[in-house]
A and B are shown apart, each in its own frame.
Chain A
Amino acid sequence: MEIKCQKQNIFWWFSYSTRYLVYMLNLLRSLILVSLLTYKSTPFSAQVYINKINDLSQLSNLHILKNEMNNKLFIYSLDGLNISNGINSKHYRSTTHNLVGNILQGPFVQDEQDRIWFTTYRALHCYNDSLDNFDVYRLKDENGKLIGHNYKIIDDINSDSILLKTNNNLAIFNIEQEKLAFTTNLDILNYDYFYAKFINKKLILLAGNNHEFAYHEIYVDSFHQSTHNIAGSAFLIDDNMLLVGTSTGDLLRYKLGTWNILDRKEYGIGLIQSISKNQNNYFLSGYNHSILLDENFDIIWTLDVNDFTQLGSESFQYSSIDWRDSLIWIGSEGSGVHAVNLKSPLIGSLSLSSLPKSKIRPTKILEYQDNRFLILSYDNPLYYINEDGTLINSWSNHGLSTHKVAGDIWNNTFVYANGGELCFLNPETDSITTISSPYERVTSIVNFRDTLILSLSQNFLAQLTNKNGQQLFDTLVPNSNCQELNYFFHGHDERLYISCNETEIIVYNKLQTTIEQRLPISGGILGYAFIDTTVLLTNYNGLYRISTNSLKYEQVIDKGKLLLSQIYGILIDEKGHWWLSGNNGILKYNPNTNKAHQFKMKDGLQGLEYNRMSYLKDSKGRFWFGGVNGINVFDPLKVKLSDKEAPIDFYNYKINDEDSREFGVANYVHQFDLYHYNNTITFEFVGIDYTGPEHVNLKYYMEGHDPDWVELDENNGVARYANLPYGEYTFHMLASNSDEVWSKTGKSVKVIVHPPFWATWWFRTIVGLGILAFGYYIVRSYYKRKLERRDLILRQQELKIEKQQAIEYERNRIASEMHDDLGSGLTTIKYLSEHAIKASKNEKENKNIKRIADHANKLVNNMSEIIWAMNSRYDTASDLTGYIRHYASEFLEEHDKTITFSSKGISHKIEISGEKRRNIFLVTKEILHNFIKYAQVDEMQINVKLEDNNLSIIFLEVGNHSFDKETAQEKGNGLFNMTKRMTDIGGAITQTTTTEGLRTTLHYNLKGRT
């Protein structure tokens, strides 16, 4: 709007600008209102999503509270308390928990610390989430007497006080001090419903029943004042206003304290059972309907009782309400609790309430002009509507209400077939013209670049061109050999894609008028779309992609296999996502990620079943999908999935397959300490999303045990780990919300399986060390024993040796004594004989005496030799050699013979025992005596040598070559004796005559003894 600028005086300008300002403001306001209206004017009546809370123990007399701290619903009934997470509920009764009484009176109150307060008939209770149990308060009255019954919470009046009725007194319970702060007598016996608020140090109490309620102002220092009785069935204090609902479905607004009615609105919803406010909206629950109001108390939408009965509820009788964010929980008598999602669903719907038959099953949706649409449907007239669903016109004549009308927009008209005619309807001018067609039954009509193509009941297609005002029919695709050629579409190349008997697709080139190819794609053609050089085709089997360059095709299957279903319609948004309608709702497919998201009833779908060919992208870019229950219309770019996280309710755990409380309340457990005897653990958890609990997905992962996350098919999560090995783990639980968007944070809890002490490393180390020590001890004691045995043996040997030595010693002693006695006796004989010789002059006698003495002497010498031989001190080769030499030297010298003595290899380290020494010496003596007796020569060479343990003593009678027979004989006897002596000790004696003389050799082998 243009503003003319005039130069006027200031005063005028000021007033003008003020008016202008006011005008602008009003304009702005109405613009806002209009836009708001526009936003809300896609009315969502029956398309509001409601789901029922399952698993409640009782369905009547319900009070509801959503606990913001733990996201659970507290629902009370006559049968105790239910705490629900949307998927399952836990029941608390006085028989199973420390509830005193089962019947709740009055609503729930949540305090600042998020504790939940409620009263049973018999006591005040406070629920403690971390203990999952209750604190029970039995209060005392002003006389100190215990109040035993008739507890009923009225309301919370502050963040720290609860107003309740005890006996028949009104009392204020101070939460922090946990006792009654104030009681008063007030006649509230006849009232069932209460509302209280603390404003400016006074307590405003509304006590009512179905007909009226009393308004009280109570001053806390016990002066109370009752001021008003008002007729009404529901009430709410809203700032300084009092809202009152009536039994006729009207809403009155009073100014608080003045009792002036500010406003009255009539909604006609029957008895108003409750008024709730959340942010700037109001919810009125009536007997027939419930309505959502904006801040001006205008209806945003209406909830019908039928919306509840669809869920199997027989009636809708409000019992209580809790309203948080965009979810409102309504307790309905006898039907349980329903959650109503006030947020507009993602997929909008077209309200067809203005149509005569509001339930239509569209078979085709066409945009005739901007924002005006033609709807074809089963057994309905042709509707011409605005974009908001309001009817412009409809036609049922001229074959337009028959089953399966086929038509398209062509040449600014809607063209369709009717018997043997082709009809052209102009919806704006409401006129129909016809031309005759040669075809009796036309099953579908498609306009492609101003050429109409018709499929006929016979097996060929026809096309209609408008040439120079003349309309000409041509046949197409003869000889296709198909029974049915009903469904087809024109590709953006010059080809027709025709379903042949629903078993193959004929690719017909219009330019060349030939069948280019027959693709073995079965399932018919239900929808189609084009992207560049690709044709997308949908049918009963799913979605196919055909390349227009090569005519190669493939079925598109997403990761979740959602595309393996019947797909009726396909539209592609500006971001390149494919939107598909089918028999499973609406799918949004991302060709880049090959993932599809399935929209659900809660998202506002008209139903799960859509209709073929009933899809449209309008001039505003909105998508229209028609189904058996209506039409969804929405802007695809505005459909955003919620990223609100679904919190985890870890509600139970089992140890060794039995429910356990060992570690406290499941949700509050930080760490499980398990041992080898209780290492089977089961986790039970769900994700909480009340907007669609059945669509919540779960996954879990035991870090340290599982290789990866485990996804569950159901929304009640159970993870069981049997015989968890020793170690430290973290168990993670994660949920996705009802839009299947995974939360970023879930819930984690540590699990430690302690090894029994006999499996711990320190114990094993100790045991290992102990075993080593033990083994060492065993080995040591074995060796010790061995050593001991050896020592024992050694000692025994020592003893033996000692014994032998003792024996030997004794023997030696005896021998020595004998020798001494003998020796001394013999020498005495010698002396005595000498004496006798001296005394006697008789020669003959002397001779005999001398012989005695000589004999005695000889004996002494023999004994001397024995003593030498017996003394082990002289058991060496060098002693033997020395002895022989000394004797031989003396003896031969006595007889004037020369002796040459030599020795080689002799040492005192070489042992020769006494017996051997004696024998060798005796033989030596014999040889020497023989030498003196028989040898004619004067020189003897004696050579003693030891080589390789062979001892040889060589006696060489130098120059003795004679061999006298007689002497030989005598000698022979001697030789025999000598030989015997040598062989007795293992030696030998040899006698040879050499050039040098007679050589006698003694041989003795030491046998390795050194």
Chain B
Amino acid sequence: MSSTNTTIKVAILEDIKEVAGILKEQLNDEKDIECQHVYYNAEDAMNFLPRADGIDILIVDIGLPRASGIDAIKHLSEYCPGMQFCMFTVYEDDDKIFNSLQAGANGYILKGTPSEKIISSIRELNAGGAPMSPTIARRLITIFQEQKVQIKKPIDLPLTNREFQLLDLLKDGLLYKEIAQELGITVGTVKQHIHKIYKKLHVSNRTEALNKYRNT
């Protein structure tokens, strides 16, 4: 969900102070991004963030001292509606990302990517796009296919055919632009589709019991 404000308000939840500090700096260097809140553990974030005003995006590190980033996402997605969560993680093919996506994350940033990419990812997320790796796509296909089979109520919509198609192409390793070419849409639309897919994942997670899906 894009923010109506021009400035994107970002909060950081990261336990390594140096990393959090540098990221904060990098963000604040940008004109349209503002980062005022940094938390070093999930409890603080859960405690204080709801009181904080109008935070658009929370960058969440998964590996936190006590409660994990996923717990924080779960908690905060209830208390801070409208806030988007972006995972901040080392590996893309880690199950952690998928788990957090299921828990409510809207996207992810790899720690190893250069700062420009981090900034652009935030902007994308704010604008309604989201990244996805082939492996994530493959897993999503599996889940949504299972869902297709299991869902009896028409409320919880499965993915549209288009979205399935998209996931399929992603899973096969096509780049966004190849996908866009294939589907006849722009890359931005591709990313927006991904965003929607994540939302549907959240919805379905909230309504169905989580242990219906296989977790690691």
Give the CA-CA distance A256 to B127 in the complex, in Å. Answer: 164
Identify which of A708-716, A821-829, A1000-1008 touches chain B.
Answer: A821-829
* A868 CB–B CB distance under 8 Å: yes
**Inter-chain contact A824/B111, CB cutoff 8 Å:** yes
Encode contact with B along A880-895: 1 for CB under 8 Å, 0 otherwise: 0111111101100100
Give the CA-CA distance A823 to B22 in the complex, in Å. Answer: 17
Chain B: which residue is nearest A834 at the CB level? B22
**Inter-chain contact A860/B63, CB cutoff 8 Å:** no
* A490 CB–B CB distance under 8 Å: no
* A765 CB–B CB distance under 8 Å: no
**Inter-chain contact B91/A835, CB cutoff 8 Å:** no
Give the CA-CA distance A890 to B177 in the complex, in Å. Answer: 11
Give chain A interface residues in 303-323, CB to chain B under 8 Å: none
Encode contact with A along B9-47: 1 for CB under 8 Å, 0 otherwise: 000000010110111010000000000000000000000
Pick the contact of B19: A827, A861, A893 (CB < 8 A).
Answer: A827
**Inter-chain contact B173/A823, CB cutoff 8 Å:** no
**Inter-chain contact B172/A868, CB cutoff 8 Å:** no
Chain B: which residue is nearest A827 at the CB level? B111
With a cutoff of 8 Å between Cβ atoms, the chain B residues found around residue A820 in the complex are: 63, 90
Give the CA-CA distance A886 to B179 in the complex, in Å. Answer: 12
Encode contact with A along B175-203: 1 for CB under 8 Å, 0 otherwise: 10010000000000000000000000000
* B134 CB–A CB distance under 8 Å: yes
With a cutoff of 8 Å between Cβ atoms, the chain A residues found around residue B172 in the complex are: 878, 881-882, 885, 903
Identify which of B74-82, B92-100, B154-162, B205-213 touches chain A.
Answer: B92-100
A128 to chain B, nearest CB (A): 98
A958 to chain B, nearest CB (A): 19
B180 to chain A, nearest CB (A): 13
Pick the contact of A882: B91, B111, B171 (CB < 8 A).
Answer: B171
With a cutoff of 8 Å between Cβ atoms, the chain A residues found around residue B91 in the complex are: 819, 823, 860, 863-864, 867
**Inter-chain contact A827/B90, CB cutoff 8 Å:** yes
Give the CA-CA distance A820 to B61 in the complex, in Å. Answer: 12
* A879 CB–B CB distance under 8 Å: yes
Give the CA-CA distance A175 to B171 in the complex, in Å. Answer: 125
**Inter-chain contact B93/A824, CB cutoff 8 Å:** no
**Inter-chain contact B18/A823, CB cutoff 8 Å:** no
* B112 CB–A CB distance under 8 Å: yes
* B139 CB–A CB distance under 8 Å: yes
With a cutoff of 8 Å between Cβ atoms, the chain B residues found around residue A70 in the complex are: none
A849 to chain B, nearest CB (A): 13
* A677 CB–B CB distance under 8 Å: no
**Inter-chain contact B18/A828, CB cutoff 8 Å:** yes
**Inter-chain contact B63/A882, CB cutoff 8 Å:** no
* A873 CB–B CB distance under 8 Å: yes
Encode contact with B along A283-319: 1 for CB under 8 Å, 0 otherwise: 0000000000000000000000000000000000000
**Inter-chain contact A890/B93, CB cutoff 8 Å:** no
With a cutoff of 8 Å between Cβ atoms, the chain A residues found around residue B138 in the complex are: 874, 878-879, 882, 908
* B7 CB–A CB distance under 8 Å: no
Pick the contact of A830: B112, B171, B173 (CB < 8 A).
Answer: B112
Chain A: which residue is nearest B16 at the CB level? A828
Encode contact with B along A851-866: 1 for CB under 8 Å, 0 otherwise: 0000001001101100
Interface centre among B16, B92, B171, B173 (most CB of A within 10 A): B173
With a cutoff of 8 Å between Cβ atoms, the chain B residues found around residue A801 in the complex are: none
**Inter-chain contact A831/B18, CB cutoff 8 Å:** yes
* B165 CB–A CB distance under 8 Å: no
Give the CA-CA distance A826 to B19 in the complex, in Å. Answer: 11
Interface size on B, residues (CB 8 A): 29
A119 to chain B, nearest CB (A): 114
Give chain B interface residues in 80-120, CB to chain A under 8 Å: 90-95, 111-112, 115
* B143 CB–A CB distance under 8 Å: no
Give the CA-CA distance A860 to B90 in the complex, in Å. Answer: 8
Give the CA-CA distance A820 to B15 in the complex, in Å. Answer: 13
Known: A823-B111, A824-B16, A882-B134. A871 touches B93 (CB 8 A): yes
Give the CA-CA distance A836 to B194 in the complex, in Å. Answer: 36
- The interface residues of chain A, by DSSP majority, are classed as helix
* A199 CB–B CB distance under 8 Å: no
Give the CA-CA distance A908 to B93 in the complex, in Å. Answer: 17
With a cutoff of 8 Å between Cβ atoms, the chain B residues found around residue A857 in the complex are: 112
**Inter-chain contact A835/B134, CB cutoff 8 Å:** no
**Inter-chain contact A871/B174, CB cutoff 8 Å:** no
Give the CA-CA distance A868 to B94 in the complex, in Å. Answer: 8
Known: A863-B91, A893-B175. A828 touches B112 (CB 8 A): no
Chain B: which residue is nearest A868 at the CB level? B93
With a cutoff of 8 Å between Cβ atoms, the chain A residues found around residue B21 in the complex are: 835
B99 to chain A, nearest CB (A): 12
Pick the contact of A889: B63, B135, B174 (CB < 8 A).
Answer: B174
With a cutoff of 8 Å between Cβ atoms, the chain B residues found around residue A901 in the complex are: 173
**Inter-chain contact A828/B19, CB cutoff 8 Å:** yes
Give the CA-CA distance A135 to B92 in the complex, in Å. Answer: 123
* A778 CB–B CB distance under 8 Å: no
* A832 CB–B CB distance under 8 Å: yes
Give the CA-CA distance A721 to B46 in the complex, in Å. Answer: 110
A464 to chain B, nearest CB (A): 143
**Inter-chain contact A883/B134, CB cutoff 8 Å:** yes
With a cutoff of 8 Å between Cβ atoms, the chain B residues found around residue A826 in the complex are: 90, 112
**Inter-chain contact A831/B22, CB cutoff 8 Å:** yes
Pick the contact of B23: A831, A867, A879 (CB < 8 A).
Answer: A831
Give the CA-CA distance A830 to B111 in the complex, in Å. Answer: 9
With a cutoff of 8 Å between Cβ atoms, the chain A residues found around residue B216 in the complex are: 873
With a cutoff of 8 Å between Cβ atoms, the chain A residues found around residue B95 in the complex are: 871, 873
B171 to chain A, nearest CB (A): 6
Give chain A interface residues in 796-837, CB to chain B under 8 Å: 816, 819-820, 823-824, 826-828, 830-832, 834-835
Give the CA-CA distance A881 to B216 in the complex, in Å. Answer: 23
With a cutoff of 8 Å between Cβ atoms, the chain B residues found around residue A819 in the complex are: 90-91, 94
Interface centre among A824, A830, A832 (most CB of B within 10 A): A824
**Inter-chain contact B19/A834, CB cutoff 8 Å:** no
Encode contact with B along A86-115: 1 for CB under 8 Å, 0 otherwise: 000000000000000000000000000000
With a cutoff of 8 Å between Cβ atoms, the chain A residues found around residue B23 in the complex are: 831
**Inter-chain contact A864/B174, CB cutoff 8 Å:** no
Give the CA-CA distance A824 to B17 in the complex, in Å. Answer: 12
Give chain B interface residues in 142-171, CB to chain A under 8 Å: 171
With a cutoff of 8 Å between Cβ atoms, the chain B residues found around residue A889 in the complex are: 173-175, 178
B132 to chain A, nearest CB (A): 11
Chain A: which residue is nearest B137 at the CB level? A882
Chain A: which residue is nearest B63 at the CB level? A820
Pick the contact of B173: A816, A834, A886 (CB < 8 A).
Answer: A886
Give the CA-CA distance A881 to B173 in the complex, in Å. Answer: 8
**Inter-chain contact B22/A886, CB cutoff 8 Å:** no
**Inter-chain contact A867/B94, CB cutoff 8 Å:** yes
Known: A820-B63, A871-B93. A860 touches B22 (CB 8 A): no
**Inter-chain contact A867/B93, CB cutoff 8 Å:** yes
Q: Name 10 extra pairs, CB < 8 A, besides A835-B25, A860-B91.
A: A820-B90, A828-B18, A831-B19, A834-B115, A868-B93, A881-B173, A883-B135, A885-B172, A889-B175, A889-B178
Contacts A/B (CB < 8 Å), 5 sampled: A823-B91, A824-B63, A832-B18, A834-B115, A878-B171
Interface residues of B (CB under 8 A from A): 16, 18-19, 21-23, 25, 63, 90-95, 111-112, 115, 133-135, 138-139, 171-175, 178, 216
Task: List the 10 closest A-B pairs by CB distance, nearest first.
Answer: A885-B173, A823-B90, A886-B173, A882-B173, A827-B111, A868-B93, A882-B134, A831-B22, A860-B112, A831-B19
